[in-house]
Structure 1
Amino acid sequence: MIYLNKTIIEMKNIVKSFYVGTPNQLDILKGINIVVNEGEFVAIVGASGSGKSTLMNIIGALDRPTSGKYILDGTDIEDKTDNGLSEVRNKKIGFVFQTYNLIPRSSALKNVELPMLYYGMNRHERRERAEQLLELVGMKDRMKHQPNELSGGQKQRVAIARALANNPSIILADEPTGALDSETGRLVMDLFHKVHEVEGKTIVFITHNHELAEETERIITLKDGNVVSEEQNDKFIKKFPNGEKICL
């Protein structure tokens, strides 16, 4: 995979504050500066209360900063209306959450199709792409199953397929192995490596787990709303350098 070093996430002096009664102000993010280039696999790591979740919401255009500038794949978030932000999320970001966030009474296939429905893709194209993505993550034989008929690892694989539905620029993963046992978490982590290396996706991986963070190319550490360290991971090794498929 050849990367062009195009900047896809650029955050300049991002501050997020909440008012908890005049004149009290709670500063969660205190001037965050982050750059992520296209094709990177980056971990944002920190303990509970470090500001990870707040930062994730801003990266994902789910919330706006109090101040500072955020450029997402060439789009200035400050200029967008709420409807505009919704469109940005649908086109540019695929979300993977710790709790899966699948629609309970819909099949795996329908869950993967949903973002494409909002995107305006026709029924035939939605179905074909959803089946391809479920095959990619090893879930094609479970595509008619509802979430309550799937294990945690299977649900997360469906969630990853859904995140890829609209071919987004970025996959934003929030503690995606946090609800899984270690063996299943290992399989899901391997799938993220596959998505990064074979599909060429930019991945921002939010975690409190330093061991998982060590599997990414670059580690950004948050503490008390500040970036306290940022380092290239010299130990990073591509697991699928030749685009090999994996079997989950």
Structure 2
Amino acid sequence: MIEIRNLVKRYFADTPNEITVLKGIDLSISEGEFVAIVGQSGSGKSTLMNIIGALDQPSSGEYELGGTPIQRMNRDQLAHIRNQKIGFVFQSFNLIPRSSALKNVELPMVYAGIKPSERTRRAKSLLEMMGMSERMNHQPNELSGGQKQRVAIARALANDPDLILADEPTGALDSKTGNLVMEIFLRIHREEKKTILFITHSAELAELCPRVVTVKDGEIVSDKAGSNMGGMIHD
């Protein structure tokens, strides 16, 4: 699914203020894996996620998604990859404020050109899967943090992507709600067989994933199995 070789990302390249954020990253992720990428703020994990999500380009190195060299694509091709192949979940939810939960989930399908009746059917089905059937006509300001994130996860699944990128998806939630959201990701992995990258600064949450990749100072310093190979949260 993901093949990264000698990936380097620099900012202010060739200036006295040049900063190297990623320092020769090598990473392979197979289809259907659930991988946590863990590291403290400034470690480079979010920059790595942005490159994997085709939101940013590396300074050098190679990145292939499903065998396709991402760095050789033009802007339109990258937009197609982001819409069709990748589902994004963010810490701040990124929901459209004055649209209902249902309309928020439908949005990626609008850009994909899916007809309205099919969009609505699929959005309702995804919200029901998230336990949000009674809240689908509510706007984001009428939802709790955990409910907003469930809507965001449903939206990420809207176009049936190959890859889900979750960037600190529990960062704005209390620990109990965060665990509930984490269980949703584990369930999606088990039942939908999705490839999931879960970016977090929490070593405790990372250990709930089957594989844990630790990034420090722009380098991968550890790549090991997590403690939760069964894919469930146990009280």
Normalised-by-shorter TM-score class: over 0.9
Seq. identity, %: 62
Separation in structure 2 between the aligned mates of residue 235 and residue 103 of structure 1, nearest angstrom: 34
Distance in 2 (CA, whole Å) between partners of 1:213 and 1:234 is 9
Gaps in structure 2 of 5+ consecutive residues: none
Matching of residue 11 in structure 1 with residue 18 in structure 2: no
SS in 2 for 1:172: strand
Equivalent-residue separation in structure 2 for 1:233 and 1:215 (angstroms): 6
Q: C-alpha displacement at 1:235, in angstroms?
A: 4.0
Query: What is the CA RMSD across the aligned residues, in angstroms?
Result: 1.3
1:25 equivalenced with 2:18 (yes/no):
yes
Matches within 5 A, 1:24-63: 24-63=17-56
Are the equivalent residues in 1 in contact too, given 2:207–2:227 (CA < 8 A)? Answer: no
Q: Does 1:90 align with 2:49?
A: no
Q: Which amino acid aligns with 1:150?
A: L
Note the C-alpha offset of 1:53: 1.0
Aligned to 1:133: 126
**TM-score, normalising length: structure 2:** 0.96
- Provide the C-alpha distance between the structure 1 equivalents of 2:150 and 2:57, rounded to a whole number of angstroms: 29
Partners of 1:227 and 1:44 in 2: CA distance: 9
Check whether the contact 2:84–2:159 (CA below 8 A) recurs between aligned residues: yes
* 1:86-130 residue CA offsets vs partner (Å, 9 max, x unmatched): 100101100000000000000000000000000010000000000
1:202 matched to 2:185? The reply is no
* Residue equivalent to 1:244: none
Give, in whole Å, the separation in 1 of the partners of 2:80 and 2:224.
32
After superposition, give the CA deviation of every residue in 1:56-97 in whole Å (9 maximum; x if it has no partner): 100100000000000011211122001111100101100000
Asked if 2 retains the 8 angstrom alpha-carbon contact of 1:214 and 1:236, the reply is: no
What is the aligned partner in structure 2 of residue 115 from structure 1?
108
Q: Does 1:154 align with 2:147?
A: yes
Partner of 1:162: helix, strand, or coil? helix
Residue in 2 aligned with 1:164? 157
Please tell me whether the aligned partners of residues 15 and 68 of structure 1 are also in contact (alpha carbons under 8 angstroms): yes
Q: How many residues align?
A: 233
